[in-house]
């Protein structure tokens, strides 16, 4: 299966698999960065929900750079608004899940670690949509 890339060049399914693998690699880096920020803020005495809000705010700018440049080859900041909207949805999902896990009695560190899996899956779906090429895919 082939599709048009952002530059108008046909891409193979192999290239899409490479993009998913780059997304996973970027996700590991972004997750470690975000979890370090979150953990550091909680460790310093901050409430977990406030720590999450700060971590997501900082994370939008950090992650846009990593995803945009390394995974989707986006230049400039033209897609930052769509990316930021994706992160608002991701944040709301993560915050709700964190709240629920805290209500179940999990401590903040474990609750956020458990919430990462479902949040990462949602993140890929929304971020790929926000940073995808403008041209429609062509299936041959």
Alpha-carbon distance of 114 to 20, in angstroms, equals 22
Residues of the domain holding 31: 2-131
4 bridge partner residues: 10
Check residue 104 and give its pLDDT.
97
Position 91 in a domain: yes
Give the containing element (helix H, strand E) for 11: strand 10-12
Taking 50 as the pLDDT cut, the residues of the chain under it are 1-4, 8-10, 135-140
| Contact indicator for 30, 66 with CB cutoff of 8 Å | yes
DSSP for residue 51? H
Position 140 in a domain: no
Check residue 56 and give its pLDDT.
85
Check residue 2 and give its pLDDT.
45
Residue-wise pLDDT for 65-81, tens only, equals 999 988 888 888 899 99
- Torsion from C-alpha of 55, 56, 61, 64, nearest 10 degrees: 130
Position 137 in a domain: no
Q: Number of structural domains, the chain?
A: 1
Check residue 134 and give its pLDDT.
63
Alpha-carbon distance of 30 to 37, in angstroms, equals 11
Check residue 11 and give its pLDDT.
55
């Amino acid at each position: 299966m082939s599709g048009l890339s952002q530059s108008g060049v046909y891409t193979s399914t192999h290239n899409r698999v490479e993009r998913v693998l780059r997304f996973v690699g970027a996700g590991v880096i972004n997750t470690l960065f975000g979890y370090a920020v979150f953990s550091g803020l909680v460790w310093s005495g901050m409430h977990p929900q406030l720590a999450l809000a700060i971590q997501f705010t900082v994370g939008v700018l950090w992650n846009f750079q990593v995803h945009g440049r390394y995974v989707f080859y986006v230049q400039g900041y033209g897609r930052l608004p769509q990316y930021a909207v994706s992160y608002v949805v991701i944040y709301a999902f993560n915050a709700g899940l964190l709240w629920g896990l805290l209500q179940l009695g999990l401590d903040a560190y474990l609750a956020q670690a458990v919430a990462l899996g479902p949040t990462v899956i949602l993140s890929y779906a929304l971020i790929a949509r926000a940073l995808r090429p403008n041209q429609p895919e062509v299936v041959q």
